[in-house]
Each structure stands twice: as C-alpha cells, then as structure tokens.
Structure 1
C-alpha cells in the first residue's frame, strides 16, 4: 500500500473536463497528501492545479466512493468509504473499487498515478479482487507454537513487570 497506479473509469462528469485535463490525469504524478480521513484523500498533482472551467456550475448529485472530485482551487480529492452521499464538485473520474484500499492505506507522501481502464477491465479487476477476498479465510493459519519450540522465549517480553499481589503505599 505504498502508492502506485490506480485504475479509474470515466464518471458521469468526466466529459465536463477538457481533453487536455483528462489526458493530464493519466500523465501527472500525484502525491497522497496528509489531509485524508475515511471520507476522502487529497492528492496533490505535480505542476499546476486541475482546471474545472464550467464544471463548478454542477448541481449536487449522488456520489460514490472512488469518485475524484476536483475542488474550486483545482485540488483533486478521492472519495473513500465514508464519503458524503451527494456532492457538487465536478468529478473527473472514479477509482475502481478494487483499488480503493490502495489509496486509503497509502501513507502521506506516497506517489500515485491514475490510468483509465475500460468498464470490462474494471469489472474483471473487481471479480478477481472479490475472489481474492473470498479465499483469504482459507489462507489464514494460526500461529501457535509450543514454548519448547521458541528458544528465545525471554526475548519476547510477554510481561511488562511482576507483582507479588500485595499493595504498598509509598
């Protein structure tokens, strides 16, 4: 979860952005900002902010996790799991659900890029992601060891102190 390429699909508002801005979304290196929470994460582009031109006249409408809203100052925000239900900033693209954990868990300063994919690619990625999630319980193994098999047991600091059970006021 250190960043990388995030796959995106066009949103209902992608065409509000000029061709040059849409192309720039794929060629620009972004940095995950410290300004982030479960609602969204700011991504800072290398270079100039993104222009929204006439997009600021968008009427508030339903939004979804993964939408990339571009605020009036040109700052893109990727909406995350607990995003609001409606929004009025234009959305240049939508991060596919399979890639949302990567942006959510990327540390501040992580380098990110966006790449447009077809809806077919997005659906295939989602199916593969869900298959991986379904297989996780079968891949988990308990880590139970017999104390005799742990030669450095004292090095694990399993306790932080000792008490004989008596309480003394000092």
Structure 2
C-alpha cells in the first residue's frame, strides 16, 4: 500500500494550504493560502521542508489520523493539544512546535487549538497531491484547489515518503514574531469616501471579531462607520488586509480568501506584518487599531521577516533520548554558560527531558 495518513476524523474545515496561488489575480483567481503564513513556515521548517510546502491548516480543532507508512516525521505549529496512541495502545501527550517521528499504526489526535484560530500540520517530504494552478492552496468558497477544492474528508491522504529521514528532531526555541498591541493600518485607498469622523472612530474604538468571520473576511463588530455619499465605488483591486465598509457601515477586514476586486469603499488597509496575527484571531477577540505610514509598514514587514528567519535558523536539535542538544543551542547563541572569576565558561546543568 502507498504511504499515507488515514484520516479517521477530519476536524472542522481542515484544508490543504501553502503560501498561496500567486500571479493569477489579473484573471480573477484569488491567492488563498495560509491564514497564518508564519505558522505554516514554522511547521515546514520543523520537518525540513521548503517554506511553502503544502500543510494541513487546522481550524479551532484538528483531525484524528493514523499512520499508514513505515514511519513519518510530523510537526504541528500552533497551540494545539496532541495525543498519540501507539499501535500497542499506549497513550501520551506530544508537544506542539517540534517534530516527532511516528510509525505505522500510530494514531495522532489533534484536539482544541487554544488561543489561536489555526494551527498547521506538516509532514516530512509533503503530501503526494497534485497542485492546482501551481498551488496546493484550497479556496473553499470557490471550490478551487486540491481534493476537489473541498475541506479534508475521511480517507487516505497520500504521502511522498514511506520513511522518516535520518537525523534528530527539531524544536522551536524562541517566540515567533507575531507582535502585539494595536493592529496597524494605512488609511485608504478610499478614506475620502467616508465622513471626517469615521476614520477617527475606527482608530479610537475597540472592535470585536464577529462570529460570522471566515477565511474570506473578518466581520468587525463595533461603532458604525459612515459614507459621505454611499458605499459603492467602481470595482477596483483588493489585497489581504483591506477594510471594506458596505452600506450597513459594518467594516469587513479581508483575509486569505478575499476576492480579487470589489465595489465597496475601503477605509484603510491592515499592514502585511500584522496579517498573521489577524489570521489567528478567534471570534470574540478584541482589536484596536492605529494608523501608520507606508514607510513604517514596509519597515515593519522587513523587521518581521528578519525575525522570522532568525527563529527558523535557530531551531534546536533534540537527541533521541528526548533531551535538547545543548551544543546546538550554544552554537546558535541562544543560551550561554556561566562565567567564573577565572573567565572560564561553565555549562549549565543538563536540560530537563521533554
């Protein structure tokens, strides 16, 4: 039998995603892709995949899968609850944000994702699924992408590898740079279509992520915004982060599955550095906003990209015993020894078993 993960329970709206279907918006084809691109990149780095390899995007809770391969290296990036049931019936909890080697017959149950909308499951070598228009991204609303453009269902999900590669497991050793504080906005491109106090209202009032939010857009519940002369404009291009305001005055912050053009005025645009954090937001989360310039937005994205790369470059190895490889941490300059009066470095005590 070909190597696969047997999907025993798919989880709510689990889908295949990568970094998006780029270069086709001029033909009306949305980008789609991961809601949290930082999380997808981490999952892939933990198992040694290229950054944009397709992963399973898990929403609120994940699937129950059984390994139908001699062995497989997996990683779940995000605060999910992981329970491993081995072929002999033994059960134990696994930590997210690190890789694990599973063997044939092992069952992995991914439970609730705490504090985030999404998490990502990567497998070493990736899934043996043909891309659609150059991408493994799934646009659920349009039915576009792998697996017929639908969410994951029960059955076999084929793998490219039948065996996990040699080498140690890997673990995240520093926080990912999602940022905190207000979501940063660049006003426009149609800020002048709104009354003078509307932008000030958006920037001074808290909004709540609404229950009707989805991969296409986040409904922001809070003070109503007002147009000068109606909500409609000649349809123009849309990017992720655009805040459209339809006639009812309720802002919608557009996310990964956003349409390519739209005919409602856009009061502001969330900067790209804050999109991964927005992609993780769950209904009921409270958001506040502040305005920045285009130059500040570009600087924030460059700084975040450098910080993400630093995190991925600093992943530590874990020895077969389950202990962190301290030598690897020293080489990465993530921890240091204790300096005595003779200036001789003294290594800290051995790390706790993970």
TM-score normalised to the size of structure 1?
0.78
> Given the alignment of the two structures, is residue 24 of structure 1 paired with residue 201 of structure 2, yes or no?
yes
Name the structure where strand makes up a greater proportion of residues: 2
Task: Give the structure 1 partner of residue 316 of structure 2.
Answer: 141
Give the Cα–Cα distance (whole angstroms) in 1 for the partners of residues 264 and 203 of structure 2: 20
Give the Cα–Cα distance (whole angstroms) in 2 for the partners of residues 55 and 148 of structure 1: 62
Unaligned runs of 5+ residues in structure 1 are 157-170
Alignment equivalent of 2:245, drawn from 70, 91, 101: 70
TM-score normalised to the size of structure 2?
0.39
Q: Residue 39 and residue 148 in structure 1: after superposition, are their counterparts in 2 closer, same or farther (change >3 A)?
A: closer
CA RMSD of aligned residues (A): 2.4
Task: Give the structure 2 partner of residue 50 of structure 1.
Answer: 225
Deviations 1:22-76 (A, max 9, x none): 111111110011222221111111xx42112314231111111110011211111
Give the Cα–Cα distance (whole angstroms) in 2 for the partners of residues 129 and 26 of structure 1: 23
Superposed displacement of residue 144, structure 1: 4.0
Superposed displacement of residue 145, structure 1: 4.4
Does the 8 A contact of 1:55 with 1:89 survive in 2? no
Does the 8 A contact of 1:70 with 1:90 survive in 2? yes
The runs of at least 4 consecutive aligned structure 1 residues that moved more than 4 Å come to 1-4
Classify the secondary structure of the residue corresponding to 2:278.
helix
Classify the secondary structure of the residue corresponding to 1:34.
coil
Give the Cα–Cα distance (whole angstroms) in 2 for the partners of residues 26 and 127 of structure 1: 24
Unaligned runs of 5+ residues in structure 2 are 1-114, 117-179, 325-352
Name the structure where helix makes up a greater proportion of residues: 1
